[in-house]
Chain A
């Protein structure tokens, strides 16, 4: 139980996928301009992360144990097709949800956080429950970082940011300060 809490908190705060592992930076720097969009992308990513964790566990347990060298290619193919499949399924089952998440799903395929999650979960030998908790924490952490970033960026639009700083340079430094603030979570719940 304690182990699970730590996995969750670690992925959410201490080793936040974006701010400590640098995963999912493309959407983090690219799509975080609007709060609404960021939140939805975060949710969609979390959903895909959870499905990926399931798939990764399944692949690891039943296929890759026999052919570890196929790991990468299996993961990437499975993730791409899962996202496609989810996209189609959502489109059919819930048009409203599709409208909310739809345009983000293709973006997620190229999000290295998804592949990263599968690889990390495998490297660390997580079982199914641990993998799911890890995915949940990572997704929540990604969403948290996205939403905070979007809030800050919307605010900077009203500021007189020097022309040289505008764009990615400022976003990276904001991310750096956020990452610095998240350093405060180091060691959380590990020292019992």
Chain B
């Protein structure tokens, strides 16, 4: 034998792997969010960037502090904490004090992720846990919307952002209302064009329907999410709001307004599709999406709050283990699924 045998590895098959990895998928998501970040800056000034930095800092610092040493590098590397902070930031009102945003980021990771055992184990969407915590904690600050400005105000930062920790913010501008608030409390509709462009009051990232859809399209083409979930949400929200609209057009907004106002698009594309907290099976995804659409229409039209997307998604997150359990795919060659 002229050559020595190589040291052979004994690793069980399959040897081959599909190229895609989890950090790739995460990177896709934040890439698709970049236009929204730019739009938020355009509409609400560079304060938007400060706010996003605050949530991201809150998220990453919490993650760093509460993750035991050997896993720290991994949890930063998988980018999910960054993404949670970014997503949370995009759902906040533009004038929210930075300390609240930071606290929200910390709550999102602390309550939404760390206590569950980290990425993949959490059962509620961390960003939405953070937002629900903020909305419950600071209901006034979380529902005070500053009006969308223009490029002229790009470098004006709202004073309320710099409220000292634990202190109430003082708002310098007259607050505006979101299209949903206008609809619910003053029966004023907002034109579809404005909803698509996004120069309305609302959370940083949710106002521009067009850009949200664009990001969704990108993720769809990259196959980064289960298209069934947004599809089911849109279909059921459109259907139920359409039915209500037929009953009383004056009182209930039509499907288009329902779809393009508030955070429905943003929630459906970026929050509901979080794979960790949504059902695994296709049938489960449909049920999950339909449930969200139904709850959104229910809360918006019959509830006390103008917006219900966050709560709808959290509630369906809670139901996800049950959905998963009862929508196990039918095993090949068997009459029914397991479970």
Query: Does chain A touch chain B in the assembled complex, meaning CB atoms less than 8 Å apart?
Result: yes
**Stretch in A100-108, A123-131, A159-167 with 4+ CB within 8 Å of B:** A159-167
In the complex with contacts A152-B321, A155-B321, A189-B302, A161-B315 CB distance below 8 A: no
Contact of A184 among B120, B314, B322 (CB under 8 A): B314
Q: How far is the CA of A186 from the CA of B120 in the complex (A)?
A: 30
Residues of A within 8 A of B310 (CB): 184
The answer to whether B325 touches A35, judged by C-beta atoms less than 8 angstroms apart, is yes
Q: Which listed residue, A147, A160, A181, touches B117 by the CB 8 Å rule?
A: A160
Judged by a CB distance under 8 angstroms, whether B288 is at the interface is no
Q: Name the A residues within 8 Å of B317 (CB-CB).
A: 181
| B50 close to A (CB within 8 Å) | no
Q: Which of B41-49, B76-84, B128-136, B210-218 is found at the contact surface with chain A?
A: B128-136
A159 touches B325 (CB 8 A): no
**Contact for A188 among B132, B303, B315, B318, CB less than 8 A:** B303
A177 at the interface (CB under 8 A from B): yes
Residues of A within 8 A of B315 (CB): 181-182, 184
**Do A181 and B302 form a contact, CB below 8 Å, given A151-B321, A155-B123, A159-B117?**
no
Note all chain A residues with C-beta closer than 8 A to B305.
184, 186-187
Cα(A174)–Cα(B318), bound, Å: 9
Cα-based distance from A32 to B195 in the complex (angstroms) = 44
CB <8 Å contact, A156 and B121: yes
B196 at the interface (CB under 8 A from A): no
Q: Does A26 contact B (CB under 8 A)?
A: no
B311 within 8 A of A: yes
- Does B234 count as interface, using CB distance less than 8 angstroms? no
Tell me, yes or no, whether B157 is within 8 Å of chain A by CB. no
B308 at interface by CB-CB < 8 Å:
yes
User: Which of these, B112, B121, B124, B132, contacts A160 with CB under 8 Å?
Assistant: B121
Q: How large is the interface on A (under 10, 10 to 19, 20 to 34, 35 or more residues)?
A: 20 to 34
| Interface membership of chain A positions 167-192, coded 1 if the CB is closer than 8 angstroms to chain B and 0 otherwise | 00010011011101111111111110
Any A CB within 8 A of the CB of B154: no
Interchain CB contact under 8 A, B117 and A148 = no
Contacts of A189 in B (CB 8 A): 302-303
Is the pair A181, B319 in contact by a Cβ cutoff of 8 Å? no
CB distance from B142 to the nearest CB of A (A): 12
Contacts of B295 in A (CB 8 A): 184
Query: Which residues in chain B, 117-153, are within 8 Å of chain A measured between CB atoms?
Result: 117-118, 120-121, 123-124, 129, 132-133, 136
Q: Which residues of B contact A176 (CB under 8 A)?
A: 111
- Also in contact, A188 and B299, with CB within 8 A (given A178-B318, A181-B132): yes
- Cα A185 to Cα B314 with chains together (Å): 12
For residue B136, which residues in chain A have a CB less than 8 angstroms away from its CB? 180, 183
Instruction: Assess A162 versus B117: contact at CB under 8 Å? Given A151-B319, A177-B111, A183-B136.
Output: yes
Measured between C-beta atoms, what is the minimum distance from B327 to chain A in Å?
13
Task: Give Cα distance in the complex from A184 to B298, angstroms.
Answer: 10
Contact of A151 among B121, B311, B325 (CB under 8 A): B325
Are A148's CB and B319's CB within 8 A? yes
Query: Does B155 sit within 8 A of A, measured CB to CB?
Result: no
| Complex contact A186–B319 (CB within 8 A) | no
Query: Separation in Å of the B186 CB from the closest CB of chain A?
Result: 14
- CB contacts (< 8 Å) of B299 on chain A: these are 184-185, 188
* Contact assessment for B322 and A170 in the assembled complex, using a CB-CB cutoff below 8 Å: no
B-chain residues with CB within 8 Å of residue A190 when the two chains form the complex: 304
User: Distance in Å from the Cβ of B233 to the closest Cβ of chain A?
Assistant: 16
Evaluate whether A156 and B302 lie within 8 angstroms (CB atoms) in the complex, with A161-B116, A184-B310 already known. no
Question: Once the chains bind, are B124 and A177 in contact (CB under 8 Å)?
Answer: yes
Instruction: Determine the residue in chain B with the shortest Cβ distance to A191.
Output: B304
Contact with A along B164-205 (1 / 0, CB 8 A): 000000000000000000000000000000000000000000
- Provide the residues of chain A in CB contact with B133, threshold 8 Å: 180
Contact between A148 and B322, CB atoms less than 8 A apart: yes
Are the CB atoms of A177 and B129 closer together than 8 Å?
A: yes
Which residues in A have some Cβ–Cβ distance to B below 8 Å?
Answer: 35, 147-148, 151-152, 154-156, 159-162, 165, 170, 173-174, 176-178, 180-191
On B, residues with C-beta under 8 Å from A are: 111-112, 114-118, 120-121, 123-124, 129, 132-133, 136, 295, 298-299, 302-305, 308, 310-312, 314-315, 317-322, 325
- 7 contacts across the A-B interface (CB closer than 8 A): A156-B116, A159-B116, A159-B120, A180-B132, A181-B314, A184-B299, A184-B305
- 16 further interface pairs, Cβ-Cβ under 8 Å (given A152-B321, A165-B115, A183-B136): A35-B322, A148-B322, A151-B321, A155-B123, A156-B117, A156-B121, A161-B116, A161-B117, A173-B111, A174-B123, A177-B318, A181-B315, A184-B295, A185-B303, A187-B304, A189-B303
